[in-house]
Structure 1
């Protein structure tokens, strides 16, 4: 099935995924886990000895997904409870889970944006209200990009995660538009692009690694970079009688 062309005239708002769309997530998580381990060495040495590397900390966090499926939408709670479990297993004070998590969470907000993220956010926010829609626990204000967004909807705060259409509908409602008036942009074929289509939105898949599209219904567009997204939207907006500029505005 060929992709449906983006209808620029319908777009009254843009929703954006965060992790792996505006920055790479795993370098951030690795640094945050290293900071957590360093804190445990100083404040909970038995736990640091039992979970002596970041891989072990990640493994018990992943174990918590099975132990607490009720928290699957809340990555902060999953991480906090995994730290609490590690402390308990090692015989350290379980109350240390709260300050330990805060160390992890502070470092988790220190993301390294993709080189074209700021210019893309500026380009989009000058044209549309922009809403963050994320299953993760990044805070756009602590990250330093909150001024680009009219709203931010997280699975943790909303109570359900992508691909549930309700979180997409909440994002549309946050800026007073209907789902069919929204263009969603994200890196995950299923949780972002396909889910947005199922929610009645137009969708752009940010496919930076050249993956094959895994679903029957294709996204409205696929781009490899955020810069390509801006060029595409600017090209669509250019008058038919004039060639689109080869360079995106404000990039």
Structure 2
């Protein structure tokens, strides 16, 4: 890809494992969920430890591929199943999921993210584009974004081109005027390019090789600032 993307007007950004590491957040959230259940539905924790609850969640995801775009529904339903299985009211799943979700959004940004978002947002409208269920406000980064498109809200997730095109529609720009940035090669890079967007692959571990000369490979978002912000300020 050229050093400057001609006609670039907007940037879409993946969230999980792009702005923050997701596995530590999910681990904390599952601990918070288990602690909530221990207080309010003790029979569940007697039968299900945290590993078993995650396995139940995974079984729901496997059995309901039509819910693949909606992590919230999958998790909530699995909690309801565990409650019912142990003789508790499955309606408690609402409050139990709230405990999970609050902890899931206690996110630790990668070191460079706050400064990079501040710099990028000064020059480009930023749109979050995610298959996950993070809340930009709770994560503390909403001020940098003009909006967000989530798979749960839209009904399909990456790499489906329709979700990329929806982000472009909301931004009011054409796909070829947008750069999408994300950590997942298939979902983010291949998905974006198939939809007509430019793509940057964020690989925080050393890449064995650049997979495609037409795709930027960056180790952190600061590299994106170095490439893009001078191009509009010089």
Instruction: Indicate the TM-score class for this superposition, using the shorter chain for normalisation.
Output: over 0.9
Contact 2:123 2:229 in 1 (8 A): no
* C-alpha deviation, 1:122, in angstroms: 0.6
What is the 5 A alignment of 1:1-251? 4-5=1-2, 7-52=4-49, 54-212=50-208, 217=212, 219-234=214-229, 236=231
**Please, what TM-score do these two structures have when normalized by structure 2?**
0.94
* C-alpha deviation, 1:238, in angstroms: 7.2
Contact 1:15 1:132 in 2 (8 A): yes
* C-alpha deviation, 1:233, in angstroms: 2.1
- Supply the distance in 2 between the matched residues of 1:237 and 1:185 (Cα, whole angstroms): 18
Runs of 4+ in 1 over 6 A off after TM superposition: none
- Supply the distance in 1 between the matched residues of 2:228 and 2:162 (Cα, whole angstroms): 26
Instruction: Return 36-45 or 204-213, whichever deviates more.
Output: 204-213
- Supply the distance in 2 between the matched residues of 1:121 and 1:219 (Cα, whole angstroms): 23
CA distance change for structure 1 residues 19 and 143 in 2, over 3 Å: closer, same or farther?
same
* C-alpha deviation, 1:56, in angstroms: 1.7
* C-alpha deviation, 1:230, in angstroms: 1.3
Q: Report SS of the residue matched to 2:180.
A: strand
Q: Report SS of the residue matched to 1:9.
A: coil
- Supply the distance in 2 between the matched residues of 1:6 and 1:198 (Cα, whole angstroms): 21
CA distance change for structure 1 residues 212 and 123 in 2, over 3 Å: closer, same or farther?
same
* C-alpha deviation, 1:141, in angstroms: 1.4
Which consecutive residues of structure 1, in runs of 5 or more, have no partner in the other structure? Answer: 240-251
- Supply the distance in 1 between the matched residues of 2:232 and 2:123 (Cα, whole angstroms): 11
**Please, what TM-score do these two structures have when normalized by structure 1?**
0.88
- Supply the distance in 1 between the matched residues of 2:88 and 2:209 (Cα, whole angstroms): 47
CA distance change for structure 1 residues 218 and 96 in 2, over 3 Å: closer, same or farther?
farther
CA RMSD of aligned residues (A): 1.7
* C-alpha deviation, 1:235, in angstroms: 5.4
For 1:243, the equivalent position in structure 2 comes to none
Contact 1:6 1:221 in 2 (8 A): no
Contact 2:3 2:227 in 1 (8 A): no
Q: Map Cα deviations across residues 120-145 of structure 1 (whole Å, 9 max, x no partner).
A: 11111000110000000001112111
Alignment coverage as a number of residue pairs: 234
